[in-house]
Structure 1
Amino acid sequence: MNDDNQPVSHFHLQKLGRWQWWSLVVANIFFLIAGQAAAVVLGRFYYDQGGNSKWLATLVQTVGFPILYIPLALIPSDKDPAPSSEGASLKLIALVYFTLGVMVAGDNWLYSVGLLYLSASTYSLICATQLAFNAVFSCFLNSQKFTALIWNSVVILSLSAALIAVNDDSEGPSGVTKGKYFIGFICTLAASALYSLLLSLMQLSFEKVLKRETFRVVLDMQIYTSMVATFVAVIGLFASGEWKTLHGEMRGFVKGEVSYVMTVAWTAVVWQVCAVGVVGLIFMVSSLFSNVISTLSLAITPIASVIVFHDKMNGVKVISMLMAFWGFVSYIYQNHLDDVKARRRQSDANNSSNDVGGPW
């Protein structure tokens, strides 16, 4: 969004029709929600069945990036590349990808530690703070302005995620000491803040450095940052010595070795689906919108838990999900109002230009 919260002005996407733009937004929302829900379920399954490697849990979040070369190959090359006078140098672009990639690796590791040492309820509650962090970063880095509807969306979605968290009846992981619990708490809180900062920096990079308006830029961003993050995770896996335990971990996996391999492989795939949705929404709308949808998925995840783990869906969870949809609709409606306002201004400007020209 720009200073007036217009959803299409950041990347000059006015060439897209209204329904085309919304179709792309809806597609990215689906990728993010479905991908994140599946990734959280698989991540929890990995730990529950005997997995214990923090660096492997970090690695699978980005190692699936080669999959993205498939849609990249299907997208036509840009016909009108950005002028060299406006485009950033390759060194600067490489620096942006490297910096963001290292930050992604660190953020993924922090989340992995948090999920290992905290119960699902506490983990979800802390993750809900990412909207508050993003509000601050968006204000300073992206010139984001907040309307009453946006504040309503942020507050309601945060409360919804918190309500799910405090109502979670599941017990925390066994064998976790108070010291490890504190480490998990701090790591998850830091990860939420770093994730929000990453979203704002990605949006800033699209605006100030990359300056492109095609979806290839989204895929490039995800591929190269994931490549860097993967190398960092591999280094961490070997430097920590955890790679030595992976064979024994696989043999001791409760559901068997095949299930272990499939869990790791599919976790890598769904994280990439989620990541495309995240970066796509930053590209199409804003970092705050992407974060709102991420928080919405915290309310959607219990549905996946009901299907996979046969968890009970009580009244409090139903109310929490309805609150999440309320906050989501509030934000979408604000985008609709901004879209109508922007198009009306554009129409008035065109009419004014025609009047000035006159029939003469």
Structure 2
Amino acid sequence: MEVAQEVELQSNVEDRKPNSQNDIAATNQLQFPGLKHYKWWLRVALYILFLLAGQSAATLLGRLYYVKGGNSKWMATFVQSAGFPILIPLLYFFSQPTPSINTSLPKPPSISTIAFLYLFFGLLLTGDNMMYSYGLLYLPVSTYSLLCATQLAFNALFSFLLNSQKFTALILNSLVLLTISASLLAVHADSDDTENIHKGKYVIGFLCTLGASATYSLYLSLVQLSFQKVIKRETFGAVLDMQIYPSFVATCACVVGLLASGEWKVLTREMKEYQEGRVSYVMTLVWIAVTWQISSIGLLGLIFEVSSLFSNVISTLALPAVPILAVIFFHDKMDGVKVMSMLLAIWGFLSYIYQHYLDDAKSNATITNANANANANEISGSQVELC
């Protein structure tokens, strides 16, 4: 009798073994939830590093281009998207097809849909990059960087309307603080070193930066919506596709703008008159292009892994660092208003991160309870079968 019970129990156990890759993944997730959790945080940390390092370096190098004699708005716009070829080897590596027997995968979108999506995002990025170029030309880099915090408020609105983003008291507190942080600069423009900048140009730079922030926030929310509703692929290759192809469209649009505006005629003279020399001129543009691509990969990765609002919040973390570096390298003024703006930005950032910590802790508790219930059900089932 005992032998028969052991045989029956062994047979039931074998019947409950996962018989597909999805079942195996689900089983591993229940048995080792911490492993998946740590891998996710590792990816998020890597994307955060890319975003912060790339954004800070690209902003400072972009300002350096103007300070040392560069003046072409279309060239400054061009280099923000022209670095995409460095990502092509990664695209080849991560886009290799893998055999799969899973027939439940969503149907891929049509080529025409994807082409329209990339074309739209590319043209949207072209206009956004042009507005950022004007803002960086006409504003001190510290004011420009802190003013970009307004994109978080815009992104909150678009995330609520397009991505069903839920808001808590801590998230709203973060948005309010970061918006006030940027608004302080708007009402205290006289504190900037603007004696060499015409008031009209300062207003243009201010409005262009606000417009670029709103446009970029719309872009982030639409990208998240595209990942969820159109692309439906949870791979790093999908992130690379979303960066490379729209950047190619944006680069082509910038070439057309550079030729149509006639700015290409003065590039040779601009290179000759660049204060640091021709080699420095070329290297500055090259590294601007590279650092913007690094930043964009981090940004899209965070959209893919978390949300567009989270990626925007992380980008604000660079805002306190850039003005300090601007004071060191470009001798921008750092008065009391900018210090207060920086403190409010840090406070707002920490408020949002704490909310994400609470959400993560709640999620872990839910997974733990699910594991405990699953184990209890399995033990109960085994005891019933033995009886």
TM tier, smaller: 0.7 to 0.9
Q: In the alignment, residue 152 of structure 1 is paired with which amino acid?
A: N
Counterpart for residue 160 of structure 2: 139
Structure 1 residues 315 and 187: CA distance shift in structure 2, 3 A: closer
Aligned counterparts of 2:77 and 2:93: Cα–Cα separation in 1: 29
Whether 1:275 and 2:296 are equivalent positions in the alignment is yes
Q: In the alignment, residue 62 of structure 2 is paired with which amino acid?
A: G
Counterpart for residue 117 of structure 1: 138
Q: TM-score, structure 2 length as denominator?
A: 0.80
Aligned counterparts of 2:185 and 2:207: Cα–Cα separation in 1: 20
Structure 1 residues 74 and 322: CA distance shift in structure 2, 3 A: farther
Structure 1 residues 334 and 85: CA distance shift in structure 2, 3 A: closer
Question: Is 1:160–1:299's contact at 8 Å kept on the other side of the alignment?
Answer: no
1:316-343 per-position Cα deviation (integer Å, ceiling 9, x unaligned): 6555544433332322222222122223
Counterpart for residue 153 of structure 1: 174
Q: In the alignment, residue 113 of structure 1 is paired with which amino acid?
A: Y
For residue 301 of structure 1, report the CA deviation from its aligned partner.
Answer: 0.6
Moved more, 257-266 or 80-89: 80-89
Counterpart for residue 78 of structure 2: 59
Structure 1 residues 80 and 347: CA distance shift in structure 2, 3 A: farther
Match of 1:220 among 241, 254, 273: 241
Segments of structure 1 that go 5 or more residues without pairing to the other structure are 1-11
Counterpart for residue 256 of structure 2: 235
Alignment of 1:231-310 (within 5 A): 231-309=252-330
3-state DSSP of counterpart to 2:219? helix
3-state DSSP of counterpart to 1:17? helix
Aligned counterparts of 1:226 and 1:119: Cα–Cα separation in 2: 27
Question: Is 1:161–1:295's contact at 8 Å kept on the other side of the alignment?
Answer: no
Aligned counterparts of 1:284 and 1:71: Cα–Cα separation in 2: 19
For residue 255 of structure 1, report the CA deviation from its aligned partner.
Answer: 1.7
Counterpart for residue 13 of structure 2: none
Moved more, 139-148 or 295-304: 295-304
Question: Is 1:33–1:300's contact at 8 Å kept on the other side of the alignment?
Answer: no
Q: TM-score, structure 1 length as denominator?
A: 0.86
For residue 230 of structure 1, report the CA deviation from its aligned partner.
Answer: 0.6
Let me know the Cα RMSD of the aligned residues.
Answer: 2.8
Counterpart for residue 64 of structure 2: 45
Counterpart for residue 176 of structure 1: 198
Structure 1 residues 335 and 125: CA distance shift in structure 2, 3 A: closer
Question: Is 2:224–2:308's contact at 8 Å kept on the other side of the alignment?
Answer: yes
Question: Is 2:147–2:185's contact at 8 Å kept on the other side of the alignment?
Answer: no
Identity of aligned residues (%): 57
Whether 1:344 and 2:358 are equivalent positions in the alignment is no
Moved more, 215-224 or 114-123: 114-123
Moved more, 97-106 or 338-347: 338-347
Structure 1 residues 186 and 316: CA distance shift in structure 2, 3 A: closer
Structure 1 residues 71 and 315: CA distance shift in structure 2, 3 A: farther
Aligned counterparts of 2:195 and 2:93: Cα–Cα separation in 1: 44
3-state DSSP of counterpart to 1:171? coil
Higher gyration radius (CA): 2
Aligned counterparts of 1:42 and 1:55: Cα–Cα separation in 2: 16
Structure 1 residues 319 and 71: CA distance shift in structure 2, 3 A: farther
Aligned counterparts of 1:187 and 1:312: Cα–Cα separation in 2: 22
Whether 1:335 and 2:356 are equivalent positions in the alignment is yes
Q: In the alignment, residue 226 of structure 1 is paired with which amino acid?
A: S
Q: In the alignment, residue 172 of structure 1 is paired with which amino acid?
A: T
Structure 1 residues 203 and 85: CA distance shift in structure 2, 3 A: closer
Question: Is 2:122–2:249's contact at 8 Å kept on the other side of the alignment?
Answer: yes
Question: Is 2:145–2:322's contact at 8 Å kept on the other side of the alignment?
Answer: no
Structure 1 residues 326 and 312: CA distance shift in structure 2, 3 A: same
Aligned counterparts of 1:315 and 1:188: Cα–Cα separation in 2: 22
Q: In the alignment, residue 295 of structure 1 is paired with which amino acid?
A: T
Q: In the alignment, residue 262 of structure 2 is paired with which amino acid?
A: G
3-state DSSP of counterpart to 1:63? coil
